[in-house]
């Protein structure tokens, strides 16, 4: 019997004696000794395990490989086991753990990095959040002098609770059964990659031109238009421009100040790739004194974003930080028998939940650039 086992036996004998004697003070002391003994034993065991894994972890980390947490390993091991089952639908339902929040957070971070527009806008991970507090109107949030009741009421009216009702965007995960033997690290990386690539495209399209019906409100939507429940929110009336000259852009940027209530220091211009190369790039590329070409030269700071979901001949200009995007993610992977791409593949579904909307109707404007020509820059 080891020293540790002897110590345990001593504690056990003391505990039995204390219980039989009805000595509550000794019972408390014995419990404390037992807890300390277990804690020390677990700490020693964990320390040995960490030492064993440390060298491998250091090597993989130096190679740029992400290391899974214990919760991630546990989840993806159970997920792989369920995916191998004959009754895969039931096996997935019976998994007693959910996708770790660390994985969800990483998917969110990679999703934001996956597209230039997602990097610019105000995106928030609201997995598990049901309400947010937002500022309304143009109420002043700071006051000189005494805070009277009238001012208090105005301040209180300056905020509102909004339900983060999120709309579903599904992603299919075709997984060849033979790949499941590659382990939890492979499965985690695969799912993250598929989610990032498939969801980003659908999400960006909705941010630009979403109808507001079971999806976000697009930047091109008129938030002040009369809305029929269940019907798409009307698009804004496009502002026609013939060039990107200071006088032309200045008038549009003046509208973005929301009637002079905010300062505008930079805007985004979202255009179709065709229009970028045929119009924007051609007009805004200049040659300096050294004979070097410099692209995207506007008279005002403009971040140009190419996006296929924008119609050719149109563009969206606005304030990226004035678009609020809420993103959540399902913590379960489900089996789908609706699609099968190959005989040895099973197809799974996981869902992203999102909603988005401009903070006001003057944060973005739809432009008609069909009449812009390269000669306009001359």
Pair 164, 190 in one domain: yes
Q: Classify residue 227: in a domain, yes or no.
A: no
Highest mean pLDDT among 56-60, 122-126, 203-207, 221-225: 221-225
Q: Which residues pair with 170 in a beta bridge?
A: 351
pLDDT tier, 19 (very low <50, low <70, confident <90, very high otherwise)? low
Q: How many domains does the structure of the chain reveal?
A: 3
Do the beta carbons of residue 359 and residue 262 sit within 8 Å?
no
Pair 259, 115 in one domain: no
Pair 54, 10 in one domain: yes
Mean pLDDT over 9-36 rounds to 62
State the CATH number of the domain containing residue 272. 3.30.2320
Which uninterrupted H or E stretch holds 170? strand 167-176
pLDDT tier, 233 (very low <50, low <70, confident <90, very high otherwise)? very high
Pair 144, 287 in one domain: no
* Closest among 190, 202, 201, 198 to 103, alpha carbons compared: 190
Pair 199, 336 in one domain: yes
Pairing relation of β-strands 267-271 and 302-306?
A: parallel
Pair 311, 336 in one domain: no
Pairing relation of β-strands 293-294 and 286-287?
A: antiparallel
Pair 77, 40 in one domain: no
Q: For residue 207, how many other CB atoms are within 10 A of its CB?
A: 28
Please state, in angstroms and rounded to a whole number, the distance separating the CA atoms of residues 69 and 89: 26
Q: Classify residue 303: in a domain, yes or no.
A: yes
**pLDDT at residue 135 above 70?**
no
* Closest among 243, 287, 285 to 376, alpha carbons compared: 243
Please state, in angstroms and rounded to a whole number, the distance separating the CA atoms of residues 275 and 93: 48
pLDDT number for residue 258: 93
DSSP 232: P
Pair 270, 302 in one domain: yes
User: Which of 32, 62, 92 lies at the terminal end of a domain, its last residue?
Assistant: 62
Please state, in angstroms and rounded to a whole number, the distance separating the CA atoms of residues 123 and 68: 25
> 39: alpha, beta or left, given left = phi > 0 and alpha = psi -120 to 50?
alpha
User: Which of 14, 33, 62 lies at the terminal end of a domain, its last residue?
Assistant: 62
Q: Classify residue 234: in a domain, yes or no.
A: no
Q: Which residues pair with 217 in a beta bridge?
A: 211
Which tokens belong to 281? 């790039």
Instruction: Go through 60-71 and write b for each residue having 16 or more CB atoms within 10 A of its CB, e for each that does not.
Output: eeeeeeeebeee
Q: Classify residue 243: in a domain, yes or no.
A: yes
Instruction: Go through 302-340 and write b for each residue having 16 or more CB atoms within 10 A of its CB, e for each that does not.
Output: bbbbbbebbbebbbbbbbbebbbbbbbbbbebebeeeee
Mean pLDDT over 280-294 rounds to 91
Q: Classify residue 122: in a domain, yes or no.
A: yes
More confident residue, 372 or 336: 372
Residue with the two structure tokens 């034993």: 41
Pairing relation of β-strands 323-329 and 122-125?
A: parallel
Model confidence over 265-283: pLDDT tens digits?
999 999 999 999 999 999 9
Pair 79, 193 in one domain: yes
Pair 98, 178 in one domain: yes
Which tokens belong to 328? 């959540």
**pLDDT at residue 130 above 50?**
no
Q: Classify residue 42: in a domain, yes or no.
A: yes
Q: Classify residue 224: in a domain, yes or no.
A: no
Q: Classify residue 232: in a domain, yes or no.
A: no
pLDDT number for residue 350: 73
Please state, in angstroms and rounded to a whole number, the distance separating the CA atoms of residues 246 and 29: 81
What stretches of the chain show up as alpha helix (H) in DSSP? 3-21, 24-62, 70-84, 88-93, 101-113, 116-120, 149-157, 184-209, 246-256, 273-275, 281-284
Model confidence over 323-359: pLDDT tens digits?
998 887 766 676 665 555 444 566 777 777 888 999 9
Mean pLDDT over 145-168 rounds to 54
Print the domain residue range for 271. 239-325+361-377
Pair 174, 92 in one domain: yes
More confident residue, 71 or 364: 364
Pair 194, 243 in one domain: no
Please state, in angstroms and rounded to a whole number, the distance separating the CA atoms of residues 300 and 298: 5
**pLDDT at residue 254 above 80?**
yes
């Amino acid at each position: 019997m080891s020293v540790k086992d002897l110590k345990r036996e001593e504690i056990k004998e003391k505990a039995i004696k204390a219980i039989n004697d009805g000595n509550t003070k000794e019972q408390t002391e014995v419990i404390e000794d037992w807890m300390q003994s277990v804690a020390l034993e677990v700490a020693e065991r964990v320390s040995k395990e960490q030492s064993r894994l440390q060298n491998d972890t250091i090597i993989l980390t130096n190679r740029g490989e992400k290391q899974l947490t214990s919760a991630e390993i546990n989840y993806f091991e159970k997920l792989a086991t369920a995916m191998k089952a004959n009754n895969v639908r039931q096996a997935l339902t019976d998994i007693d753990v959910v996708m770790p929040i660390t994985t969800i957070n990483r998917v969110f971070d990679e999703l934001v990095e996956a597209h230039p527009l997602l990097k610019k806008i105000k995106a928030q991970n609201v997995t598990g959040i049901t309400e947010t507090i937002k500022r309304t109107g143009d109420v002043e949030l700071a006051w000189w002098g005494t805070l009277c009741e009238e001012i208090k009421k105005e301040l209180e009216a300056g905020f509102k609770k909004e339900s983060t009702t999120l709309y579903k965007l599904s992603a299919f995960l075709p997984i060849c059964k033979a790949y499941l033997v590659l382990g939890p690290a492979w499965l985690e990386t695969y799912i993250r990659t598929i989610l990032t690539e498939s969801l980003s495209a659908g999400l960006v399209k909705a941010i630009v031109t979403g109808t507001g019906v079971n999806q976000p409100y697009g930047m091109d939507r008129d938030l002040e238009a009369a809305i029929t429940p269940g019907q798409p929110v009307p698009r804004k009336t496009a502002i026609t421009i013939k060039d990107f000259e200071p006088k032309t852009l200045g008038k549009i940027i003046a509208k973005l100040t929301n009637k002079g209530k905010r300062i505008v220091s930079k805007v985004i211009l979202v255009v179709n790739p065709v229009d970028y190369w045929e119009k924007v790039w051609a007009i805004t590329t200049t040659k300096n004194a050294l004979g070097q070409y410099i692209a995207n030269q506007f008279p005002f700071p403009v971040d140009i974003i190419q996006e296929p979901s924008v119609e050719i001949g149109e563009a969206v200009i606005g304030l990226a930080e004035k678009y609020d995007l809420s993103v959540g993610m399902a913590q379960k992977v489900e089996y789908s028998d609706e699609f099968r791409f190959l005989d040895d593949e099973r197809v799974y579904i996981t869902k992203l939940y999102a909603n988005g909307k401009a903070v006001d109707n003057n944060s973005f404007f739809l432009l008609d650039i069909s009449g812009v020509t390269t000669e306009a820059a001359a």
